[in-house]
Amino acid sequence: MLSPPKVQALQDVLSLSEVAAIINTTRQLRYQVYYLTTYSLGLRLSETLNLTIADIDRHLMQVHLRYTKNKKRPFRSFATSNLVGITSLLENTPSSQFVVSWGKPPHIRQDKTLVMDKGGIQKTIKLVANACGITKNVHVHTLRHSIATHMLERGASLRSIQVFLGHACPKTTALYTRMTEEVAQNSTLMLNDIVDSLNITWREQRDD
C-alpha cells in the first residue's frame, strides 16, 4: 500500500506593518540591525551572523555574501535604510569584524570576535512578536519568507525572487538565468521602497 505524499506546511508570513512592529519594538540596536538585515537581504540565520564589515560596499550599495547555503547569488542589493542602523551600531563597536557582534568592547575573546547567540536571536524574535500581539509562528526564517512575499506582491517575477534568495533546486535550476541589468536595477529600487516604508526607530546602543 502506497503511503500518502508528504504535504509541506505553508510558512507564516509577516505583513510589512508586522515586520516594522517587530523591529521597532526590539529594545536593543544590535537586534534591530540583525532583524532588518536578515529581512532586507533575505538571509538565513547564520548568513547574517557571518556578515562582516568588509562585505558591505557602501558605494555600490551591495553586500558580498560569502557564506550562503548554496553558494548562489553572492551579491545582493543593500537598502539605504539598513545602512543607517549599521552605521549607528558600528559607531559603538568600531573594532568589530562582524556587522552584528556581541559583548562589550573590544568584542573579542581569545582572539575571536564574539557573535550573537543563535538561540538568543530566535527567542528574542518570538518574545517581541508576542509583545506586538502577533499570533503567527514567528522565527528568524520568517523574515526571509516575508521579504520574498513582499517582493512578489510588488510585482517581482518568481525568477528574480529565486535568484535574489539564492535558491538551488536541481529540477528547476535550468530555468533560471542571470538577472539582467534592468531586473537588478528594478529589484534595488523595489527593495529600497519596501524597507523605507518600515519607518524604523533606531535604539541607542548599550554596552552589555
Domain boundaries, the chain: 16-195
User: pLDDT band for position 96 (50/70/90)?
Assistant: low
**pLDDT band with cut points at 50, 70 and 90 for residue 190:** confident
The letter for the amino acid at 109 is R
Compute the distance between CA of residue 28 and CA of residue 120 in angstroms, rounded to an integer: 13
Check pLDDT > 60 for residue 88: yes
d(CA 113, CA 100): 10
Owner of C-alpha cell 503511503: 3
| Predicted pLDDT of residue 171 | 36
Q: How far apart are CA 90 and CA 95, in angstroms?
A: 8
Residue 76: what are its φ and ψ, rounded to 5°? -135, 150
CATH number of 16-195: 1.10.443.10
* Residue 180: per-residue pLDDT: 37
Q: Is the pLDDT of residue 54 over 60?
A: yes
| Cell numbers that stand for 205 in this block | 546602543
When comparing pLDDT for 158 and 180, which is higher?
Answer: 158
